[in-house]
Structure formats: structure tokens, C-alpha cells
Structure 1
Amino acid sequence: MPSLVVHLAAGCLLAVLLLDDDFTPRAAAVVLAATALPDLDSVVGLALPNAHRAALHTALLPVLLGFLLAYDLRIRDRSVLRARFGPTAGRVAAVALLALAAAGIGLDLVTNGVNLLYPLYDRFYTLDGHLLLSNTRGVVQTFVQPPPADAAVSTTANTHYSTAVDPTYPGVEPDEPVERVAPVVASGWQLWLVVLGYAAFARALLAARASRSA
């Protein structure tokens, strides 16, 4: 599964690409904090069994925050965000919301899955498959297809994602000390994303600092 290091690398790219002229260390920190937010449910899992990839990985979280953001920026006579944090606050908040959904939750959705509609509906979903063009079969995709009739349903009652904070399945007593593993990168594409994301972020930080001192 993607580590926090990988999630933040994706958040770095979104901050650099979408903040554009509004990129500042403070604005970037807001985007990265939003990216990291979903993984806090690994701590929630200590009190609520198997809450990781469910409590804060639900799509309902960015949807709810999106409605609140739209209300503040589009419907209210005077935006609280802009009044408190300045004219760029709306854009920063929008990029942070996208980072939460795409870099925070989305990467996990395509890697081992998330409980997408929790707590309204308790089931883990994974977006995985392939898309190809064949001279004999035409367009072939496996992302959207009905699951096998005998496929097991993963819920918080039977699914546990091991983390350094909560490595063991609830109720299971290990015979020996439990190894706590904090992953950094788990594949070549993750390493490449980390290199690109942090390199772009470092360059943007240097450029922002140079523009302020000019």
C-alpha cells in the first residue's frame, strides 16, 4: 500500500501544479496536511477496530467538505475563508480538497482498496484492472465489471490493514513480539513518484523564496 511518503509526494505535485502563482510554503503546508489527513484513521483503529482505510478514507468526507466549501465561497454573502485568510484562501482550500480526495484517498482506492461509503455502507472497494487495445478483441477493460458471484465481501468486520500503529488483527494474540513496519516505498513507480514529487516541490519552494526576496 502507498506509504505516507508516497501520498505526500502526490500532494506535492498537486500543490506545485494547481497553486501556481499562489504557491507559498503556508499554502503548500495546507495542501500536504489535507493529503495526510486520511491516514490518521490508523490511529482511530486503536479505538475502533479496523477503522483504517474506512473512518477517514470514505468518499463522504471530501463530498461533505466540498459542500461546505462551495457554500462559503459561492453562496454566503461574505466568505469566512477569504475574510480570515485572504483572497487566495478559496483556491488553496480547493486544491487541498482535491489533494485529500485524489492523493490521500484515491491512491489507496487503487491500491488494496478503501471503504468508500463508510459509515453509510460498510464495504471495501478497489479500483484495479487494465485497459488495452487488441487487434482481435478490440477495446478491453477490466476496471468496470461485475464481481464473481462467489466473491467474498470485505467489510470492517473481516478486513484489517496492518500499520506500524496497529499491526495486528483485533483479538489476535501473537506468540512473539509483533514487528511494526513503516513502509516508505513498495515499488518502482512509487519511488519514481517520490523523486518527481519532492524534486518539483523543492524547486517551487526555492522559486517562492526567491520571489519574496526580490
Structure 2
Amino acid sequence: MPSTVVHVAVGALLATSLLAEQFDTRAAVIVLAAAAFPDLDTLVGFWVQGGHRAVFHNLLIPTVIGIVLLADLLGKNRIGRRWGAYGVRVAWVSLFAFVVAGIGLDLVKNGVNVFYPIHDQFYSVSGKLSVSNKHGIVQTFLEPHARGTTHTTHYDTGFDLAQGPDPRNEERVFPIVRSGRQLLLGAMSFGIFGFRVWESRKE
């Protein structure tokens, strides 16, 4: 599964590309925090069995936030009146980073509990898309793979090694990057992000 560093790296790309003229250090940090937020359910997993990849990785939270933001935008526009276009842009980009960088990366890798707590089932959307001279267009993305419930599924982390009590004296690994692709993505993302922060401070 992608580490929190990788989630933040994708959040950095989204911040640099989508914040546009509203980009500054404060706005960027808010977007990065939104991208990292779902991984906090790693700690919730100590108290809620199977809570990791469920409690904050579901799509219900961003759906509710999106409805609130849209209602505010179409109604009294409190965010716009208080923080102007800056606040509105930061709010929407943060929500997008929450969904794409925070939840989406895990959904396409090992799976998340998409509708938790309404429907307790982990799903993974991974597959392939190809064109074959014998079979035409072949895709497997539209066939989500069910992976179990919070009672039968556990994603081990450095904080929580196993379902139930952790084994004694086991190594605790906190991954930063797990492949050359992730290293390249992280280096590129943080390089672009750092340049945009430097550039925004010059202006």
C-alpha cells in the first residue's frame, strides 16, 4: 500500500496544479493535510477492529463535505464572504486531494471500505485496460473485488502489526517509499511543490 509520504506527494502535485493563483504555503499545507488525513485511521484501528482503511477511507465523509461546500457555495457562501475566492478554492482542492490522494490511491492498490459504516465491505478497484486483436477492448476495472469486512480484513502497519494483540519483539516498519516508481513520484512531486513554494514567496 502507498505510504503516507506517497499520499502527500500526490497531494503536493494537486496543490501545485489546482490552487492556481491562490497557491501559497498556507493553502498548500491545508491540501497536503487533507491528502494525509485518511491515514489517521491507522491509529483508530487500535480501538475499532478493522478501522484502518475504513473509518476515514470511506467515501461518505467526502460526500457529506462536498454537499456542505456546494450548499454553502449556492446559498449564503460563508466561505466566500469570509475568505474570498482563496477560501473557496482551497476548500474544493482540499476535498479533491482527500478523495484522490488520500482515498483513491488505496482504493486502487489494496482496497478500502468504501461505504463504511453503512455497508461494511472492503473493495479494491484494480485491473487492466487493453486492446486485443482477438478480444477487442479488454477491461477489468469495472469489476470491483470484494475483500472482506472490518472483522475479517486487517492491513498491517508499523503501528498495528496484526489483527488482535501485536506479536512481541516483531520488527515495526514504517514505509517511506516501496518502489522506484514511488521514489520518482515523490522526488518529482516534492521538487515541483518546493519550487512553487519558493516562487510564491518571491512574489
TM-score bracket relative to the smaller structure: over 0.9
User: Which deviates more from structure 2 when the two are superposed, residues 31-40 or residues 80-89?
Assistant: 80-89
What displacement does 1:87 show? 3.2
Q: Percent identity?
A: 46
- CA offsets 1:94-138 (integer angstroms, 9 cap, x no match): 000000000000000011000000000000000111111111211
Partner secondary structure for residue 69 of structure 2: helix
Superposed counterparts of 1:32-181, under 5 Å: 32-76=32-76, 79-145=77-143, 153-170=147-164, 172=165, 174=167, 176-181=168-173
Larger radius of gyration: 1
Match of 1:205 in 2: 197
Does structure 2 conserve the Cα–Cα contact (< 8 Å) formed by 1:58 and 1:118? yes
Indicate the residue corresponding to 2:174 in structure 1.
182
Structure-2 residue corresponding to 1:7:
7
Mapped to 1, the partners of 2:144 and 2:31 lie a distance apart of 36
TM-score by length of 2: 0.95
Distance in 1 separating the partners of 2:144 and 2:66: 30
CA distance in 2, matches of 1:55, 1:105: 11
Q: State the SS of the aligned residue for 2:138.
A: strand
Letter in 2 for 1:9: A
Q: Kindly report structure 1 stretches of 4+ aligned residues shifted beyond 2 Å.
A: 82-87
Alignment match, 1:29: 29
**Post-superposition shift, 1:146?**
7.3
Number of equivalent positions: 203
3-state SS of 2:123 partner: coil
Query: Structure 2: which amino acid aligns with 1:82?
Result: G
1: CA distance between counterparts of 2:84 and 2:127? Answer: 43
> Given that residues 168 and 178 in structure 1 are in contact (C-alpha distance below 8 angstroms), is that contact kept between their aligned partners in structure 2?
no
Q: Which runs of 5+ in 2 are unaligned?
A: none
CA shift for structure 1 position 200: 0.8
Q: Which amino acid aligns with 2:171?
A: E
TM-score of the superposition, structure 1-length normalised?
0.90
2:126–2:141 contact (8 Å) kept in structure 1: yes
